[in-house]
Structures are given as structure tokens and as C-alpha cells.
Amino acid sequence: MNFYINILFLLKVLFMIPILAIKFNDAFLFKFLKFGVVGFSGLIVDFSITWICKEKLKIHKYISSSLGFVVATGTNYTLNRYWTFNNHNPATIIQFGKFFVISLVGLALSNILIYLLNDKLKWNFYFAKACAIVIVSLWNFFANYLYTFTG
């Protein structure tokens, strides 16, 4: 339990100070809206892959959800890099690595939320996944805004 408290404290320290320095102006809002549009397209990719794997291929729900998340991460990275953040950093592999690590943290958060909402609270799996996506999207936006696509 202390491990999780330490991780949460570290995330708070790492991201709260930079978040306080963000200028919440029209340009920021426009990036956030673009990120939302890309996220919605990723949601369609994610849910489609998840549904195909879970319902048609009968793959376990967490593996199916993870596969959907990983495929959506690839499409989201490309769209966010060029459209949302208009970023042309030549270090694409390093940048994608940052994006992917942030996405893996998001995946872990997503699976924890799905477990709590679906397995423990008995909510519908897809409703639980949708709730997780909304929460994880906020994490993904701010982490990528402050870390992946800076400069």
C-alpha cells in the first residue's frame, strides 16, 4: 500500500507544479479539443479491437482490452503528433517511447478502474471501460502535453 502512496505522491510532485504553470488560453483549449477528437477516434479503434477480440475471438476481457488500448495508442500517437501538437521532433522513437510509457501507465489505470467498476461493483464491462477511458484520457493529455510533446 505504501508503494502506491509513494507513486501517487511522486506523480503529484512531478505534474502538479508544471500543471500550475500552464496558460489556460485559447491555444491550450484548442489543443485539448483536438486531443479529444483524436481520443474519440482512438475510442472507436479501442472498442472495435476489444469487441472483436472479446466477443468474436473469445480472448479474455483484460487481454482484449489491452490489445484495443495498444492499437489505439499507435493511431493516437500519430494523430496527436502531427495534428494536435503539430510536433515534428526528429527523435520520433524517443518521443514515441515517452508516449507509450504514458500510455502504459494509462493502461494500468484503465485496467484497475475496469476491475473495480466491473468485477467489484458489477457495472457493465463496456460502461466501466468507457468510464476508465474518460479518466485515463485526462491523465494522458496532461502527461503528453507536459512531457512528450514539449518544446
Residue 4 has a pLDDT of 53
Residue 16 burial by Cβ neighbours in a 10 Å radius (0-12, 13-18, 19+): exposed
DSSP 1-15: -HHHHHHHHHHHHHH
How many other CB atoms are there within 10 angstroms of residue 135's CB atom?
13
Is the per-residue pLDDT at 41 higher than 80? yes
Confidence of residue 24 (pLDDT cuts 50, 70, 90): confident
Query: Tens of pLDDT along 81-110?
Result: 999 999 988 888 999 999 989 988 988 998
Above 80 in pLDDT, residue 5?
Answer: no
Give the model's pLDDT for residue 15.
54
What percent of the chain stands above pLDDT 90?
Answer: 53
* pTM exceeds 0.75, yes or no: no
Q: What is the pLDDT of residues 104-139, one digit of tens each?
A: 898 899 889 999 999 999 999 989 988 998 888 888
- Would you state the pLDDT for residue 134? 86
Distance separating alpha carbons of residues 24 and 41, to the nearest angstrom:
24
**pLDDT of 33 over the 90 cut:** yes
C-alpha cell at 91: 527523435
The C-alpha atoms of residue 5 and residue 67 are separated, in whole angstroms, by 28
